[in-house]
Structure 1
Amino acid sequence: MLYIILTIGLLVIVYNFINKKKNTSKNIHKVEIEDHWYSLLEEHVLFYKKLNTEDRLHFKKRMQSFLSNVTITSVDFELEDIDVLLVAASAIIPVFGFDNWSYPNIKKIIIYPDYFNYDMEFTKDAKDKLIGGMVGNGPLENKMILSRKALHHGFSNKTDKGNTGIHEFVHLIDKLDGDIDGVPKVLMENKNLMLWLDLVYEKMEAINNNKSDIRSYGGTSEVEFFAVASEYFFERPMLLKRKHPDLYKMLHQCFVP
């Protein structure tokens, strides 16, 4: 009960904060991808860079479709093309294996300039700024909040196995069956669900015993394990395949049908 009360309280704080800031935000509606974005993709998005010519064209069309159905809002800074591009790439990478995929559970993405805390503070003197992104519920249903700094870091660091944008969109995928619970029923056959959970608990135990190279945040819950493992899968697939072949195989079955 205490957890529920605290969660409701956090959502109310977020909702009120966003309403206060809405007059300082810039909205992006139905963005048209400009020619120079293609060179930005080549420079900043390794996943795109590895695609062949046909798949690159498909990736760009998928980005355009995504951007036509969401609003992107910045708080206390002016959005740049690269910000919008990285959000769209974060959305498309996890579902690139599905031709007709869309996100019915996201309508608005709010970008803060920095990491933020549970009071939604992100200024220089704010304490405990540890949050890089979150998917909203309740009054923030169909909304996502991202830290600009975390979003950019996820694409600039090619070796850390992490990507905040991908992480948050994986939560949205997880949520499509009704709950964010770390069990991706929309991606996985029923016969594999128990195998997945057994593997999750095994890997989480290794993380929490400092016997894994999977990011420690993945050991906090099944929900975060799925998102963290998915980051690893898309950022460093060959390393994951070598170090965790069983996990790689299951994620590959999920994301590469």
Structure 2
Amino acid sequence: MYLYALIPVAVVIFLFWWFWRKPSARRAQSDLGPILSEHVKYYRLLPPDEQRRFAGEVAAFMQHVTVEGVGTEVEQLDRVLIAASAVIPIFAFPGWKYNNLTNVILYPDTFDEKYQYEGSRRNILGMVGSGPLNGQMLLSRSALRNGFSAENDGANTAIHEFVHLVDKTDGTVDGMPQTLLHHQYSVPWLKVMHAEIKRIETGHSDINPYAAMNESEFLAVTAEYFFERPERMQEHHPELYAMLSRMFQQDPAGQQVTAS
């Protein structure tokens, strides 16, 4: 008897939650619009319907991942830029979740290998945690903001680190993300990669030399270039651009995204 009496109450509570949730989600997205428009060029160049989807993905990421400050106060702009950095590489895959990430630790500036942000040995801008820090990302706040500044030189540390996380979804950070790279493209990707690494090592490439460290850094560094300076990459590295476009299912030089 009591159970039947409670059912209508439960239905009312559920309906109230559902109808309240939908407009609140829309409000969250509309609140993000002005920040994204001002600071994220990638967002500004999207058509209106894709801007709404992008803002929705950013809002979902912000609900899923916590951002903590160490030695600095985390502002809403920081949270939005981190979320935008996460969404940009996987925007062609609606609903993507970074299940290998729980929180981002934001430092005021560079930090060292012991995660200290004071001293003379600070040279790290960002990293994906492993071992005790598994599931965490460490980022320099100054690098995060510089990556989205008008004076940006094509580097974007946050996108770089999120590409490492995408690479890691198959269990290995090796520059061969199986979730994005179809098997038939593995060998062509390796050929393009190693040919470009040779050009970097001999000083015949404009790609950041850090890309030549290993295959995983090559993917992350060239992804920065791909999303930040797509027209230049397409002009100077057409084969590499085509491979990355196929991998991320995006053509940023042509402002096209093929959602899966």
TM above 0.5, yes or no, is yes
User: What TM-score, normalized to structure 1?
Assistant: 0.84
Q: What are the Cα deviations for residues 47-89 of structure 1, in whole angstroms up to 9, with x where unaligned?
A: 0010111011000100111111111100112111111010000
Q: How many residues are matched?
A: 225
Q: What secondary structure is seen at the aligned counterpart in 1 of 2:167? A: helix
Partner of 1:219: 212
The answer to whether 1:70 aligns with 2:96 is: no
Counterpart of 1:79, as a letter, is: V
The answer to whether 1:251 aligns with 2:233 is: no
User: What TM-score, normalized to structure 2?
Assistant: 0.83
Q: What secondary structure is seen at the aligned counterpart in 1 of 2:122? A: coil
Give the number of the structure with larger relative contact order, counting CA–CA contacts within 8 Å between residues 6 or more apart: 1
The separation in 1 between residues aligned to 2:153 and 2:163, in whole angstroms, is: 18
Aligned-pair identity in percent equals: 41
Partner of 1:26: none
CA-based RMSD: 1.6
Mapping of residues 1-257 of structure 1, within 5 Å = 33=28, 35-123=30-118, 126-157=119-150, 159-256=152-249, 257=258
- Per-residue deviation at 1:156? 0.6
The separation in 1 between residues aligned to 2:74 and 2:243, in whole angstroms, is: 37
Unaligned runs of 5+ in 1: 1-29
Larger Rg: 2
Q: What secondary structure is seen at the aligned counterpart in 1 of 2:84? A: helix
Unaligned runs of 5+ in 2: 1-24, 250-257
Counterpart of 2:149, as a letter, is: S
Counterpart of 1:131, as a letter, is: I
Partner of 2:10: none
Runs of 4+, deviation exceeding 6 Å: none
Counterpart of 1:54, as a letter, is: D
